[in-house]
Amino acid sequence: MKVAIVGTKVPIPRNFGTRTLVRAESGMKVAIVGTKVPIPRKFSEPILQCGLCVLKIEKEEINMKIAIVGLGGVGGYLAASFAKSGLHVTGFARGKHLEAIQKEGITIKEDETQWSIPLHVSTLEGAEGYFDIVMFCVKSYDLQASCKALKNRINANSILLSFSNGVNNGDMLREYCNGRVLDACMYILAHREAPGVIRKKGKVFAALFGGEDAEAVATVAQLFTQAALRYKTPQNIKEALYKKYIFIAAFATLTTYYNTTIGEIYEKHYDEAKKLLREIAEFAKESEGLELFDEVQKSLETARKVPYDSTTSMWLDFKNGKKTELESLSGYVQKPFMQKLYNELKKREKE
């Protein structure tokens, strides 16, 4: 029988939470290793009956300082979820959105629920201290400026991730910042509905991150575990980035081109969507040697399943006359059909 000395860290299966500290209440000095010990969410120090003794389980406290740069659909939902779980998080925003969060906290509206949480927020210029983990959730065209704005608030031990759209954001962070960079992407349908308010649609959510720094990957995973947010750590993170990119690049381009929703693109422009998805798969094969042709049909199935009125951030930015991610989502793919759509959208952007 395997035993553990009381007071050592005993790994608990991922689906039961994070690592825990175990000690015997009845004077016993050992605990069975490998048994599934569930940790009820509602209790910080649950008492559990083991075959040998009564054990007291205490969650490890996470004392890292976390920065979320950009509090739009992705960053706002992340920051709110982290804050709700008790993590030490600071959000960075500007304008009326910043002012609303400072006064009323941040509000998350989901399909059938709504909740609010106080959140420490600031401008990038007002950042103080150092951060252990920085998650960039800005548009891809703002990544360089955001990274440089925090260069005096991070060091070589800081873990950096970008959840911006695109497949080369990690490379940009490595160029602009001094830190432990992980590649990452996010699956979520969310946008800023009003100052201080984030609207999330449907159940789609998954954070994907990875890289050669296994310790950094495990550290970030611990945050998502505590916040009860779904995540994956794929071995081939570049492939994972492209699997996300193939969907968002195709549907961001088409929803913007036709000025409509993802549901309507699937219903009325199915063949064009399939053609564009296949082009992106061909581009990934040619540029990175990745086999993504199975993702064409999977992406179409995802489009079918999301709420009919789901939109894309690029479509919203075009609609509201804001700067867009046209270059990283459409211009980046050098294939005929995509370039035709890109050139037309480029003309509209200048109008």
Q: What's the token pair of residue 156?
A: 């070589």
Domain co-membership, 268 together with 229: no
Helix locations, 87-236, DSSP H:
95-104, 143-149, 169-176, 214-226
pLDDT digits (tens, 9 = 90+) for 309-342: 999 989 989 999 999 999 999 999 999 999 999 9
More confident residue, 5 or 86: 86
Pair (210, 110) in one structural domain: yes
Residues 85 and 14 in one domain: no
Among the listed residues 198, 211, 294, 181, the one whose alpha carbon sits nearest the alpha carbon of residue 246? 294
Band (60; pLDDT cuts 50, 70, 90):
low
* Pair (70, 54) in one structural domain: no
Domains of the chain: total: 3
Residues 78, 223 share a domain: yes
CA dihedral 214, 215, 218, 224 (to 10 degrees): -120
- Scan for tokens 């959140």, then name that residue: 119
Alpha-carbon gap, residue 351 to 345, rounded angstroms: 10
pLDDT of residue 62: 79
State which amino acid sits at residue 333: V
CATH number at residue 214: 3.40.50.720
Q: What does the pLDDT average to over 55-60?
A: 43
Q: CA separation (Å) from 240 to 194, 243, 247, 277?
A: 31, 5, 12, 15
Do 82 and 20 fall into the same domain? Answer: no
Q: Which of 177, 201, 234 is the last residue of a domain?
A: 234
The domain boundary, picked from 192, 212, 234, lies at: 234
**Residue 112: burial class (beta carbons within 10 Å; 0-12, 13-18, 19+):** exposed
- Domain ranges, residue 167: 65-234
Mean pLDDT of the chain: 85
* Residue 55 pLDDT greater than 90, yes or no: no
83 and 171 fall within a common domain = yes
* Whether 300 and 174 share a structural domain: no
The pLDDT of residue 133:
98
Query: Which of 17, 34, 59 is a domain's end point?
Result: 59
172 and 72 fall within a common domain? yes
Residue ranges of E strands in the chain: 3-5, 9-10, 20-24, 30-32, 47-49, 54-59, 65-69, 88-92, 106-109, 114-117, 120-122, 133-136, 159-162, 180-194, 197-210, 231-232
CATH number (domain holding residue 337):
1.10.1040.10
Does 340 share its domain with 301? yes
- Among 61-65, 69-73, 216-220, 250-254, whose mean pLDDT is lowest? 61-65
Assess whether 158 and 16 both reside in one domain.
no
The verdict on 225 and 245 lying in the same domain is: no
